[in-house]
Amino acid sequence: MGGVTLLKLPARIPNLNNHAERRVRSVEEEVRSGVIQAGESAIRKVFNEYDTHYH
């Protein structure tokens, strides 16, 4: 599926959605501000940098 691994997560993990939403919001803000281009490789790079920085 396009190089993306899908994981089935247990139900009722209250904090998981918050982390996902914040991650997506961070990338959207960087795209809108012009820091990165909206191409797939650039977005993957930002996600990797975000994961490295926050985890």
How many residues does the structure list for the chain?
Answer: 55
Q: What's the pLDDT score for residue 36?
A: 65
Question: Is residue 50, in this structure, part of any structural domain at all?
Answer: yes
* Domain membership of residue 26 as a residue range: 17-54
Question: Is residue 24, in this structure, part of any structural domain at all?
Answer: yes
Q: What's the pLDDT score for residue 38?
A: 66
Written as six digits, the tokens of 34 are 């012009």
Looking at the 3D structure of the chain, how many domains does it have? 1
Report CA-CA distances (Å) from 14 to 3, 37, 43, 46, 55: 27, 32, 26, 25, 19
Question: Is residue 11, in this structure, part of any structural domain at all?
Answer: no
Q: What's the pLDDT score for residue 37?
A: 67
Report the distance separating Cα 41 and Cα 47, nearest Å.
10
pLDDT tens, residue by residue, 12-54? 776 777 777 887 887 788 777 876 666 778 778 877 887 887 7
Is the pLDDT at 1 greater than 60? The verdict is no
